[in-house]
A and B are shown apart, each in its own frame.
Chain A
Amino acid sequence: MRPFSIGAGGPRSATSADNALQIYLPIADLPVNVFFILMVGIVVGFLSGMFGIGGGFLLTPLLILIGISPAVAVATVSSHITASSLSGVMAYWRRKALDLALAAMLLAGALVGTAGGVWLIALLRAAGQLDLAIGLSYLTLLGIVGTMMVVESGRAIGRARRGQPAEIRRPGSHSWFHGLPLKLRFKQSKIYVSVIPVWVIGFVIGFLGGLMGIGGGFLLVPALIYLLRVPTSVVIGTSMMVTLVTMASATILQSITNKSVDVVLALILMVGGVMGAQFGARAGLKIRSEQLRLLLGLLILAVGLRFAFDLVVRPEDLFTLQIPGGMR
């Protein structure tokens, strides 16, 4: 995993440009180009606004590629996602396109999961296997989710071309978990399901968020659509609400446990992200939802393949250095 080898590279591309644009990051302990980081924030923000995701699965690998340590990248991205998802939540709130009751139930699981993920990071760092764990989790998760989305949206686009109804919502088809107890009616989403799968989904999202520095929107959106059959109109708003609260708490938990949130880096990313997200959201409204899902699926697959490449191909340098307890 070349970009994740803590020692092998150090600060690279970000250090070369004009000195006037350089700013020294107090926690990551290296100087970066302000405009470069701002651009990264804008691009990721644009995509996150367009697809209704936090963008963490793009931003975390990008930061690591720049030379920021995985621990700092994961922790800092959580605060970035907090900012970008708040502006999203506010937009969906005004349109009343979110289900607060469902979000609250998801969060009950997510907060426990986040704490678990943050704790696991500390453990993996101590064992020297954080790079590998992050690489493998990204590969697995992005590979599965990306493939599923591409296949599903491809079928949906095919159906739309042949003039069949695009909506695959079948009220009569029940999954096994519809037999579980503790059923609740979520009015806004027009679903009547047990809270147990809702908690489990929330827990998984929160756990991965803490561990991988992802908001989990790209997981939560399909989970809500395909597993809980939440209508697409409220899915993105609800997912963003969950992302907002989990990532806000992840910011605090990371600060306490791993002390690896870089506030300067976060601020530059946030400003870019918030700007980008506004334009992305408008672009997203112009594209049909199944095409949007296909694009997102392809993007997720691409990032997943990048991780696969790094894990499978023999690294240039088999050796890496690790400073126990250090940020780098």
Chain B
Amino acid sequence: MRRGTGIAVAAALLCAPPSARAEKLVTSLSAHRVMITSNFTGVDLTLFGTIETDASSVGRTGGYGLVVTVTGPRQPTITWRKERVLGIWVNAQSRVFVEPPSYLAVLSNRPIDDMASPDVLRRLQAGLTQVQLPQRVGGDIADVNADDPFRAAFLRIKRAQGLYREQANAVTFLTPTLFRTSIPLPANVPIGEYEVDVKLFAAGTMVAQETTAFEIIKAGFEQFVATSARDYGLLYGFATMLLALFTGWLGAIIFRRD
């Protein structure tokens, strides 16, 4: 995360003239830890923020563009394409995506394409079409062009799962400088560390950036079961088997008629 911030700040310095860096973002998340318990069915986190301005930033034309990017823990993912072989559909071709985010939400107050030039957006990886999803091609690791079918399929499936999203109306300005957005975390959200990156655009450049983070963890019983299954497979299996035998035995006793 440190490194990511460093790159972003460097990018900000490159693409924003010094005079435009007068705004400052102050943000606050409604929670920094989301617990997955047995009744977890998804949750919305709320992000509040203000834009602090000074004399040099007064009188901007065109208003602010705000992009909130939420990035979940990274996990290697294989995208398969089926082909018809001997009359049946089988997974034939695959591409390995190197550590793409398991969750990615890009929330903004208006279409991102209007906020800056495509070059700037690509450099800042602002928006789903601009985010880099490097693939392993042979021995090399490279991102492919945006219309690559595997990349498109990856984004489409992730969207269908509710894990990737891009919403151009998700950030609401309550006053010209006070904004809020809610980060939707669906029921199938992966556990781990999440990074929230807020970018402020004005007049075609990024004028301020702020990052914060939260984590999603399993808690209580869910955590106990998941840890036991992972770390004590034999014991877990044995306990499950005993539970099964007990349930079966109990059923036979309860329902016995003769």
Contact = CB atoms under 8 A, between A and B. Distances in A.
Interface of A: 1, 7-11, 15, 19, 22-24, 26-27, 29-31, 79-80, 82-87, 90-91, 94, 128-129, 131-132, 136, 248, 251-257, 259, 261, 263-264, 266-267, 270-271, 274-275, 277-278, 311-312, 314-315, 317-324, 326, 328
Interface in B215-229: 218, 221-223, 225-226, 229
Nearest to B76: A324
Contacts of B76: 323-324
B39 interface: yes
B245 A312 contact: no
A259 B233 CA distance: 6
Given A26-B222, A86-B249, A270-B244, A321 B157 contact: yes
Contact of A1 (B38, B75, B89, B247): B89
B236 interface: yes
B158 interface: yes
Contact of B153 (A87, A90, A129, A317): A317
Contacts of A274: 247-248, 250-252, 255
A9 B252 CA distance: 38
B187 A31 contact: yes
B245 A86 contact: yes
A320 B79 contact: yes
B161 A10 contact: yes
Contacts of B91: 128-129, 131-132, 320
Contact of A26 (B75, B160, B218, B233): B218
A31 B158 CA distance: 18
A248 B245 contact: yes
B242 to A, nearest CB: 9
B36 interface: yes
Interface residues of B, number: 65
Contact of B234 (A255, A266, A318): A255
Contacts of A263: 225, 229, 236, 239-240, 243
Nearest to A29: B188
B82 interface: yes
B154 A321 contact: yes
B157 A251 contact: no
A259 B154 CA distance: 27
B244 A255 contact: no
A320 B80 contact: yes
A26 B225 contact: yes
B221 A7 contact: no
7 residue pairs, one from A and one from B, having the closest CB atoms: A255-B237, A86-B248, A274-B251, A319-B153, A252-B237, A82-B244, A278-B255
Contacts of A26: 218, 221-223, 225-226, 229
A247 to B, nearest CB: 8
A267 B250 CA distance: 13
Given A86-B252, A312-B89, 10 more contacts: A79-B241, A83-B244, A91-B252, A252-B234, A252-B237, A255-B238, A274-B251, A319-B80, A319-B149, A320-B79
Contacts of A270: 243-244, 247-248
Contacts of A264: 38, 225
Given A10-B188, A320-B79, A82 B157 contact: no
A10 B251 contact: no
Nearest to A258: B233
B89 A314 contact: yes
B248 A254 contact: no
B243 A24 contact: no
A256 B233 contact: yes
Given A255-B233, A259-B233, A275-B255, A132 B90 contact: yes
Given A83-B248, A87-B251, A252-B237, A27 B229 contact: yes
B230 interface: yes
A253 B234 CA distance: 8
Contacts of A314: 84, 89
A318 B251 CA distance: 44
Nearest to A261: B240
B169 interface: no
Nearest to B238: A252
